Amino acid sequence: MRKIRQDSIERVLNAVDIVEIVGGHVHLRKAGGSHIGLCPFHSEKTPSFHVTPDKGLYYCFGCGAGGNASKFLMEKLGMTFVEAMELLSQKTGVALEYESGTEPREDSRRENLLTLNRRVLLSFRNQLGKNARARQYLESRLIPGQLIDEFGLGYADGREYSLLELFEENHDDLLELGLIASGEDKRLYDRFRQRVMFPIWDAAGGVVGFAGRDLSGKSPAKYMNSPESGLFEKKKLLYAYHIAKASIRKKRRAIVVEGYFDVIRAHQQGLTETVAVMGTSLSTYHARLLGQQTDVYVVFDGDEAGLRAALRTSELLTQSDLALRVVFLPDGHDPDTYFQRHRVEQFEELLSQARDVGEFRIDRLLESSSGDVTQLSQAVRELREFINRIPDSIRRQAYANYLRERTQIDPFGSGQSPSGRSRMRPPRSGGNLSTGQPLGSEASGSFLRESLRKVKKPVDKNDAAPYLLKVMFSSEEMFEEISSALGSDILSAPYSTIKDQATSWHLERLPLEQIIERLMDSPLAAPMAHILSLDIGKEDILGMTPDIIEKIESLYMHHRHENLKQQLFAPSPSESGAPLSEDERRRMLQELLEIQRELTS
């Protein structure tokens, strides 16, 4: 992985005109020493988005979004940090330098392979123009020329040696990319023959592989992908993501299908936020690509195979906080055929009826065990184990409540709440981090416990937040523990922004000291200084992790408690949206009472 030297990053950022970068996406007007405009990250009518060229920073006083030019490109365009810095390097003309002398050579090797793939794509495109049968096939699939060009479709002819002859000097590279193969007699031949070719791009738009749809009728494999390589890893790629990512960011919605033609047909209908997996289930890599703030709708055929695939997809809940819903098409349809016979409004109606993937898993397992107490008990045990592996505490509680309501069985017994405690590392052995006192001494943790009483009932999240963040910033170990347990949804601005920004930099492997330094140089400097000024004592903070996590879970419960009260007892429908059904009201009231019992116990 490329890692840019810190001094090189600073030189590029110092040379950047952030007004030019942001102004390419936001209409800005000068106001004193700043430029202001409508925030591109949330809907507003009065400008609260400020760009300060002297500091090279932007900040929204409405939603708390803020950072430098690279952060803006990452948030607005979905770029990685390295991609953003490389774009800024091109714009400023300031060259980037990398940490390791070997990595640029690896990057050069990668660029050479990407360039070769682009040349191969041009040859496939050229062959499509010459082959009437391939063009007729695409016409029969009702794919217009505009989409053929946008998605770069091509054709691999039936000859065994087309690529071998065209790229005589690149046989080793073609082998590495899987575009040619070696037979038992060591003879080389083209892997893709008589196939409509789909280029596969990475997030930055580089051609990393190909898929081919057989037209010969003789191949046992209707579709064939490039083999796995350093460029092509299916679990990390989503077909057409580089085209769809702008729409995904804008709509905060992604539609995930299974086929290449499914994606093309959806884009033809205006659903340009559609992407496809390539023979795999959604992975944690895909989740990071789509983003935590994106509502993801995974579309399946309505047959038994589609139901099984949806069950496999539900496993992603145990590894990610992705908002995941499943959509089932009528029997006999995939998205391609569905859109040929139905209006896009009808598909939107299907999306509005999408099932939360966790609820679907619960219902599916319970339906398969109905009428048999032994099978029901086994299903509840399996679901209890599944729920306990979900990292988000609110989701665990919500799914436990749903399972309890469906079965009238308390899946955790004796009124226990689902807990992720088993995922926490036990306190480390050894002395106190700050004072050298042994763990478990009476003096250890006394001051911090006093501070954390601020988190006890009644909870004021604005009061608790800086103390929890102070603990999070106390060491690398605590940052890992607290950042994974503490969701930004229960923090208000600016503390939620600080937590999100710090976590983003931590994922880029910045050391904690550098994260704090960056925050102190940002528009978040004032609240950050307040956090750092708090005195939590020289305690065994790491050894108190279970106590701190308990306080966070308490905070989550209060947060959910307030949300339920607002939805149940809103004065008028206009404040709460559509009126609640009786079933919804009953379910929410039951959950509210259970949380109240937990909080008062």
pLDDT for 140 equals: 95
The answer to whether residue 267 scores a pLDDT higher than 90 is yes
Please choose, from the candidates 243, 335, 320, the residue with its C-alpha nearest in 3D space to the C-alpha of residue 285: 320
In the three-class reduction of DSSP (H, G, I as helix; E, B as strand; rest coil), residue 232 is classed as coil
> What is the distance between the alpha carbons of residues 61 and 582, in angstroms, rounded to a whole number?
39
| Domain count within the chain | 5
In the three-class reduction of DSSP (H, G, I as helix; E, B as strand; rest coil), residue 188 is classed as strand
Identify the domain boundary among 232, 264, 299. Answer: 232
pLDDT for 82 equals: 86
Same domain, yes or no: 479 and 541: yes
β-strand 188-190 against 180-182: which pairing, if any? antiparallel
Q: Of the given ranges (185-194, 349-358, 377-386, 530-539), which has the lowest mean pLDDT?
A: 530-539
- State residue 163 phi and psi, 5-degree precision: -70, -35
- State residue 291 phi and psi, 5-degree precision: 95, 145
Same domain, yes or no: 553 and 588: yes
Same domain, yes or no: 204 and 251: no
For 158, the token pair is 């039936």
Tell me the β-bridge partners of 209. Answer: 200
Please choose, from the candidates 403, 447, 402, the residue with its C-alpha nearest in 3D space to the C-alpha of residue 540: 447
527 assigned to some structural domain: yes
Please choose, from the candidates 198, 203, 190, the residue with its C-alpha nearest in 3D space to the C-alpha of residue 263: 198
Average pLDDT estimate for 155-159 = 88
The answer to whether residue 31 scores a pLDDT higher than 80 is yes
Same domain, yes or no: 329 and 222: no
> What is the distance between the alpha carbons of residues 292 and 470, in angstroms, rounded to a whole number?
24
Same domain, yes or no: 470 and 595: yes
Q: CA 157, 159, 163, 166 torsion: positive or negative? A: negative
- Which of the residue ranges 418-427, 453-462, 528-537 has the most confident prediction, judged by mean pLDDT? 528-537
Under a CB-based contact definition with an 8 Å cutoff, are residues 60 and 40 in contact? no
Q: Report the CATH number that the domain containing residue 212 is assigned in CATH.
A: 3.90.980.10
Q: Tell which phi-psi region holds residue 415, choosing left (phi > 0), alpha (psi between -120 and 50) or beta.
A: left
Average pLDDT estimate for 407-419 = 67
Same domain, yes or no: 115 and 225: yes
For 316, the token pair is 């992603």
Same domain, yes or no: 173 and 248: no
- State residue 311 phi and psi, 5-degree precision: -60, -40
Average pLDDT estimate for 109-129 = 91
Q: Of the given ranges (100-109, 444-453, 576-585), which has the lowest mean pLDDT?
A: 444-453
Under a CB-based contact definition with an 8 Å cutoff, are residues 253 and 214 in contact? no
Provide the pLDDT confidence category of residue 467 given band limits of 50, 70 and 90: confident
455 assigned to some structural domain: no
> What is the distance between the alpha carbons of residues 468 and 548, in angstroms, rounded to a whole number?
8
Q: Tell which phi-psi region holds residue 571, choosing left (phi > 0), alpha (psi between -120 and 50) or beta.
A: alpha
- State residue 245 phi and psi, 5-degree precision: -65, -35
501 assigned to some structural domain: yes
Average pLDDT estimate for 496-509 = 82
451 assigned to some structural domain: no
**Is the bond preceding residue 458 a cis peptide, omega within 30 degrees?**
yes
The answer to whether residue 554 scores a pLDDT higher than 50 is yes
Identify the domain boundary among 317, 337, 354. Answer: 354
DSSP state of 408: S
Average pLDDT estimate for 459-473 = 68
Same domain, yes or no: 117 and 195: yes
1 assigned to some structural domain: no
Identify the domain boundary among 35, 69, 92. Answer: 92
Average pLDDT of the residues of the chain: 80
- State residue 328 phi and psi, 5-degree precision: -115, 125
pTM over 0.85, yes/no: no
426 assigned to some structural domain: no
**Is the bond preceding residue 511 a cis peptide, omega within 30 degrees?**
no
Instruction: Describe the crossing of helices 545-568 and 393-407 by its angle, rounded to 10 degrees.
Output: 60
> What is the distance between the alpha carbons of residues 468 and 485, in angstroms, rounded to a whole number?
11
Under a CB-based contact definition with an 8 Å cutoff, are residues 302 and 329 in contact? yes
506 assigned to some structural domain: yes
225 assigned to some structural domain: yes
pLDDT for 578 equals: 57
Q: Tell which phi-psi region holds residue 172, choosing left (phi > 0), alpha (psi between -120 and 50) or beta.
A: alpha
The answer to whether residue 394 scores a pLDDT higher than 90 is no
Q: Report the CATH number that the domain containing residue 22 is assigned in CATH.
A: 3.90.580.10
Same domain, yes or no: 530 and 587: yes
Amino acid making up residue 336? D
Same domain, yes or no: 87 and 153: no
Taking residue 165's Cβ as centre, other Cβ atoms within 10 Å add up to: 9
| Range of the structural domain that residue 491 is part of | 462-570+580-599
> What is the distance between the alpha carbons of residues 391 and 387, in angstroms, rounded to a whole number?
9
Q: Tell which phi-psi region holds residue 414, choosing left (phi > 0), alpha (psi between -120 and 50) or beta.
A: left
The answer to whether residue 506 scores a pLDDT higher than 60 is yes
For 307, the token pair is 């139901």
Q: CA 462, 65, 81, 232 torsion: positive or negative? A: positive
CA dihedral 141, 147, 150, 151 (to 10 degrees): -20
Same domain, yes or no: 367 and 350: no
What Å distances lie between residue 413 and 385, 401, 409, CA to CA? 13, 12, 8
Same domain, yes or no: 260 and 388: no
Q: Report the CATH number that the domain containing residue 337 is assigned in CATH.
A: 3.40.1360.10
pLDDT for 293 equals: 65
For 409, the token pair is 């069985």
In the three-class reduction of DSSP (H, G, I as helix; E, B as strand; rest coil), residue 494 is classed as coil
> What is the distance between the alpha carbons of residues 258 and 148, in angstroms, rounded to a whole number?
19
Please choose, from the candidates 285, 288, 286, 255, the residue with its C-alpha nearest in 3D space to the C-alpha of residue 273: 255
pLDDT in tens, 51-104: 999 889 999 888 888 889 999 888 877 677 888 888 888 778 788 888 765 455
